[in-house]
Chain A
Amino acid sequence: MSAHSHVDGKLPHEPEKATLEGRNKVLGFWLFLGAETVLFGTLFSAFLALRHQVGDGNPSSQELFELSTTAWATFILLTSSLTSVFAIQAMHTNKVKSMIIWLVVTVLLGLGFLALEVVEFATYVDEGHKFSTSAFSSSFYTLVGFHGAHVLFGVLWISILIAQIFKKGLTVVTAPKIYVAGIYWHFIDVVWVFIFTVVYLMGKVG
């Protein structure tokens, strides 16, 4: 039952599920994502309820949003999701080096996404779309900002995990952490799919 009971030099095919601790971690994290679903869902619903409350003289969503920026952000995040899958696949075949490389690529893409978002927000603020401008702006920044904060947390988290892999190697203790971080990263991507659809594309339509 202990964290070490299954280690005998060779890692099993799915090291994240080799121990009860690992299985608990994966299951508990999935349950947490169920809660995150409701968290983002509620943020989405607040945004949906308030997105037309722009106020007089403030820039509307059609005027603000640039489809090209959103497209780039989407492309970057989607690609990072793919690279994190490659990392998990490398982990399953016990290729530690290629796993680390894919994780580093994932982190770099995440940073790229964040940079785009910061620039985007700065532009909006210049155009008079501040957090306190209108109900639309408050709900917009809260929803997209919550997602951005999740990306930032993911970037920091995966970076720490990369450092741990260097120090401790891939074991039945570190493998569930990597797996769970991978699931988290996909979830962020899934949320973004709805953000670009509901916030940006539907905002562009009107």
Chain B
Amino acid sequence: MAHAHKVKRYSGLMDWLTTVDHKKIGILYLIAGGFFFLVGGLEALLIRIQLWKPLNDFVAAHTYNELLTMHGTTMIFLAAMPIIFALMNAIVPLQIGARDVAFPFVNAIGFWTFFAGGVLLNVSWFAGGAPDAGWTSYAPLATNTFSGGHGVDYYVIGLQIAGIGTLVGGINFLATIINMRAPGMSFMRMPMFTWTAFITSALILFAFPALTVGLVAMMFDRLFGGNFFEPTNGGNAVLWEHIFWIFGHPEVYILILPAFGVISEVISTFSRKRLFGYSSMVFATVLIGFLGFMVWAHHMFTTGLGPVANALFSIATMLIAVPTGIKIFNWLFTMWGGSIKFTTANLFAIGFVPTFVMGGVTGVMLAAAPADFQYHDSYFVVAHFHYVIVGGLILGLFSGLYYWWPKMFGRVLHEGLGKLCFWTFFIGFHLTFFVQHFLGLMGMPRRVWTYLDGQGFNNLNMISTVGAFLMGVGTIVFLLNVVITSFKPRNATNDPWEDGRTLEWSIPSPAPEYNFAQTPLVRGYDAFWKEKMEGKKEMLPAEPLGSIHMPSPSILPLIMAVGLFISGLGFMYGKGDYGDGFKAFLFNNHIVAIIGLAITLACMFLRSVIDDHGFHIEPDEITGDKGVKA
């Protein structure tokens, strides 16, 4: 190994802009996703303020449409998914005993394109109006006829760019999990979180291309006079609904499966018991992922596909309750007889179980097609999907963040503040959304900016608004906790919960750049726990200590994302926004758009022709670190 390539290693801001280290990319995802979570949360609070009393005029009807569209879009694509990717990046390679992900460079592209897409979407607020056709952007509402201006353009182009990032991120994790597992780490020994990350990545792989096609078609309709969804020229508006939900339903499972994984890890660790029914858990995860592709039309029962289609999709949807139920019972049986520790992470996990069951039960109610005709487009649906997404996914993410925070940052979050965060958020959540079931059953329609007095909606809406603010308080407490903790010394031990079962707890907190000084030898499920039970403190190494090859940092991913960002803006403003002159010439001939694409392609070219030799970390450098034996 006599390659003496000198690789420039950056520090400070440049380090973060050029990093290809999955742990740092995980932190970037967390910061960006956390930022968008706050933006989306602010939008939610504005919505709730508008609805706190009848005939309120806090925001205009049009602004309300923008708020609800951007709240949904931001929370799903720019907050929830990136925070999932944050945990996956930070933890999955550690759990399978890998030094790195399969494609560190592509991983960085994934982050920066997501970020560029997210920023582009939110630029719309300052550029004449945000998207206002709902997060589903149904045609014909979202076509030029009914949504002039650039709002929906930002939606279709921003999501395309963010979608590229998500897709390559998914491919990266699939290849990592298939090819990079440590010796002995067979598929049926993988920790549950890794399994769910695997299935989620597979769902991303097969669902996102459908969304891309839908968005491209919508973009062609809006920018280049296409007729996909334009009924006057033979287009088909229902086609958009189908394509959107063929992506959209698997997306729901993309979101919830990693939460299932987190909950499995946390409950098992803090019950000090092996996860009950591990193999049935794996089977249920795979089955949910598979069935997720066959139920999209349950979002379209009232579209009028006819009784045969409705019946088929109704039954397929109810089938999903079976594997989900298996999971619920497995978690309960894991806790049964365990010595449970009520840490913050575990509180979130235990709070998740009944909350998610409630969301699941309303899901089965909605799956009954005839009943859905009553619930459709009412607050009952709003309550249902917030129970599964907030009560399921967000509680799961909080649980995961409290649990893995020491592994990501080397500091344990303050438990007292953590418990305060849990109780305010949890109670606030149920206050906000439980009453919305009844609002829906009483007939309050969703997506409408206000309501009349004297319909019995007033008190329940008031309660809901109070609850939303309580959730806001919970989030602020979490942020406070993060700030306070960051001033504490970085003193987390390898295994701060003392009951860690999986490989990530066998290495220092935070994990060193190369993760494992020596690749561990895995001898069973719950690999680290197995060693601990045999009285050992560390994993058996599978190789002698040697020099470790690392990929070199690169600025190209960031520039590629910038290129796509420029190109997106270029296409958007090519509709003749600028009368004449130089600006009009640049935009109307798509010169700006082409320059943007050229930047991205040039980066791809450079990446292809310049070999990345990387650099090596030598054994003496490794043994100098704390907690690693020679």
> Known: A39-B213, A55-B234. Contact between A2 and B227, CB under 8 A?
no
Query: Interface majority SS on B: helix, strand, loop or mixed?
Result: helix
* B72-90 interface code vs A (CB 8 A; 1 in, 0 out): 0000000000000000000
* Cβ A39 vs Cβ B243 within 8 A: no
Asked if A68 is an interface residue, CB under 8 A from chain B, the answer is no
* Cβ A35 vs Cβ B209 within 8 A: yes
> Known: A27-B179, A42-B214, A160-B605. Contact between A134 and B103, CB under 8 A?
no
* A15-57 interface code vs B (CB 8 A; 1 in, 0 out): 0000010011001100110111011001101100110011100
CB-CB under 8 A from B228, the residues of chain A are 46, 50, 135, 138-139, 142
* Cβ A135 vs Cβ B3 within 8 A: no
Q: Which one, B172, B214, B616, contacts A28 given CB within 8 A?
A: B172
Q: Which one, A43, A135, A161, contacts B230 given CB within 8 A?
A: A135
> Known: A28-B175, A31-B205. Contact between A132 and B611, CB under 8 A?
no
A19–B605 Cα distance when bound, in Å, is 23
Say how far B174's CB is from chain A's closest CB, in angstroms.
5
Q: Which one, B225, B234, B243, B611, contacts A131 given CB within 8 A?
A: B225
Stretch at the interface among B57-65, B216-224, B326-334, B338-346: B216-224
* Cβ A1 vs Cβ B549 within 8 A: yes
* Cβ A31 vs Cβ B233 within 8 A: no
CB-CB under 8 A from B613, the residues of chain A are 3-4
Say how far A188's CB is from chain B's closest CB, in angstroms.
16
* Cβ A46 vs Cβ B213 within 8 A: yes
CB-CB under 8 A from A160, the residues of chain B are 605, 608-609
* Cβ A132 vs Cβ B614 within 8 A: no
CB-CB under 8 A from B174, the residues of chain A are 28, 31
Say how far A159's CB is from chain B's closest CB, in angstroms.
11
A20–B224 Cα distance when bound, in Å, is 44
Asked if A168 is an interface residue, CB under 8 A from chain B, the answer is yes
* Cβ B210 vs Cβ A54 within 8 A: no
Asked if B123 is an interface residue, CB under 8 A from chain A, the answer is no
Find the B residue at minimum CB distance from A153. Answer: B601
* Cβ B171 vs Cβ A28 within 8 A: yes
Asked if A164 is an interface residue, CB under 8 A from chain B, the answer is yes
Say how far B5's CB is from chain A's closest CB, in angstroms.
10
How many chain A residues touch the partner (CB < 8 A)?
A: 44
Asked if A177 is an interface residue, CB under 8 A from chain B, the answer is yes
Q: Which one, A35, A46, A132, contacts B225 given CB within 8 A?
A: A132
Find the A residue at minimum CB distance from B247. Answer: A42
CB-CB under 8 A from A31, the residues of chain B are 171, 174-175, 205
CB-CB under 8 A from B210, the residues of chain A are 38-39, 42
Say how far A147's CB is from chain B's closest CB, in angstroms.
13
Q: Which one, A1, A45, A142, contacts B216 given CB within 8 A?
A: A142
A32–B170 Cα distance when bound, in Å, is 10
Q: Which one, B1, B180, B207, B220, contacts A2 given CB within 8 A?
A: B1
Say how far B518's CB is from chain A's closest CB, in angstroms.
12
Find the B residue at minimum CB distance from A42. Answer: B213
* Cβ B226 vs Cβ A4 within 8 A: no
* Cβ B236 vs Cβ A50 within 8 A: yes
A39–B614 Cα distance when bound, in Å, is 34
* Cβ A134 vs Cβ B233 within 8 A: yes
CB-CB under 8 A from A55, the residues of chain B are 233-234
* Cβ A138 vs Cβ B226 within 8 A: yes
A-B contact count (CB 8 A): 130
* Cβ B167 vs Cβ A35 within 8 A: yes
* B187-211 interface code vs A (CB 8 A; 1 in, 0 out): 0000000000000000001111110
Interface residues on B, range: 35 or more
A7–B392 Cα distance when bound, in Å, is 50
Find the A residue at minimum CB distance from B547. Answer: A2
* Cβ A27 vs Cβ B178 within 8 A: yes
CB-CB under 8 A from B103, the residues of chain A are 24, 28
Say how far A180's CB is from chain B's closest CB, in angstroms.
11
Query: For window 182-196 of chain A, which residues contact chain B by CB distance below 8 Å?
Result: none
CB-CB under 8 A from B227, the residues of chain A are 50, 53, 132-135, 137-138
* Cβ B234 vs Cβ A54 within 8 A: yes
Asked if B102 is an interface residue, CB under 8 A from chain A, the answer is yes
Say how far A127's CB is from chain B's closest CB, in angstroms.
18
Asked if B99 is an interface residue, CB under 8 A from chain A, the answer is yes
Asked if B212 is an interface residue, CB under 8 A from chain A, the answer is yes
Asked if B239 is an interface residue, CB under 8 A from chain A, the answer is yes
Asked if B129 is an interface residue, CB under 8 A from chain A, the answer is no
> Known: A24-B103, A27-B175, A27-B178. Contact between A131 and B213, CB under 8 A?
no
Query: For window 158-183 of chain A, which residues contact chain B by CB distance below 8 Å?
Result: 160-161, 163-164, 168, 173, 177
Asked if B235 is an interface residue, CB under 8 A from chain A, the answer is yes
Asked if A113 is an interface residue, CB under 8 A from chain B, the answer is no
CB-CB under 8 A from A45, the residues of chain B are 243
* Cβ B216 vs Cβ A34 within 8 A: no
Asked if A200 is an interface residue, CB under 8 A from chain B, the answer is no
Find the A residue at minimum CB distance from B611. Answer: A173
Asked if A136 is an interface residue, CB under 8 A from chain B, the answer is yes
CB-CB under 8 A from B175, the residues of chain A are 24, 27-28, 31
* Cβ A5 vs Cβ B236 within 8 A: no
> Known: A35-B171, A35-B205. Contact between A24 and B179, CB under 8 A?
yes
Find the A residue at minimum CB distance from B172. Answer: A28
* Cβ A177 vs Cβ B608 within 8 A: yes
* B240-266 interface code vs A (CB 8 A; 1 in, 0 out): 000100100000000000000000000
A27–B201 Cα distance when bound, in Å, is 14
* Cβ B234 vs Cβ A20 within 8 A: no
* Cβ B234 vs Cβ A50 within 8 A: yes
Q: Which one, B102, B208, B239, contacts A49 given CB within 8 A?
A: B239
* Cβ B206 vs Cβ A28 within 8 A: no
* B1-29 interface code vs A (CB 8 A; 1 in, 0 out): 10100000000000000000000000000
CB-CB under 8 A from A157, the residues of chain B are 608
* Cβ A142 vs Cβ B220 within 8 A: yes
* Cβ A24 vs Cβ B3 within 8 A: no
Say how far A58's CB is from chain B's closest CB, in angstroms.
9
Query: For window 76-132 of chain A, which residues contact chain B by CB distance below 8 Å?
Result: 131-132
A204–B605 Cα distance when bound, in Å, is 40
Find the A residue at minimum CB distance from B3. Answer: A4
* Cβ A46 vs Cβ B209 within 8 A: no
> Known: A55-B233, A134-B234. Contact between A46 and B549, CB under 8 A?
no
Q: Which one, A4, A27, A132, contacts B1 given CB within 8 A?
A: A4
Q: Which one, A3, A39, A50, A164, contacts B609 given CB within 8 A?
A: A164
A137–B221 Cα distance when bound, in Å, is 12
A42–B221 Cα distance when bound, in Å, is 16
A20–B100 Cα distance when bound, in Å, is 12
Say how far B516's CB is from chain A's closest CB, in angstroms.
12
Instruction: Supply 6 A–B pairs (Cβ within 8 Å), ascending by A.
Output: A32-B171, A39-B212, A39-B213, A135-B227, A142-B228, A173-B611
Instruction: With A3-B549, A28-B172 given, name 12 new contacts (CB 8 A).
Output: A24-B179, A28-B171, A31-B171, A42-B214, A46-B243, A131-B220, A131-B225, A132-B224, A135-B227, A135-B236, A138-B220, A142-B226
Give the B-binding residues of A (Cβ under 8 A).
Answer: 1-5, 20, 23-24, 27-28, 31-32, 34-36, 38-39, 42-43, 45-46, 49-50, 53-55, 131-139, 142, 157, 160-161, 163-164, 168, 173, 177
7 nearest CB pairs, A to B: A53-B234, A132-B225, A135-B234, A2-B549, A39-B209, A42-B213, A138-B226
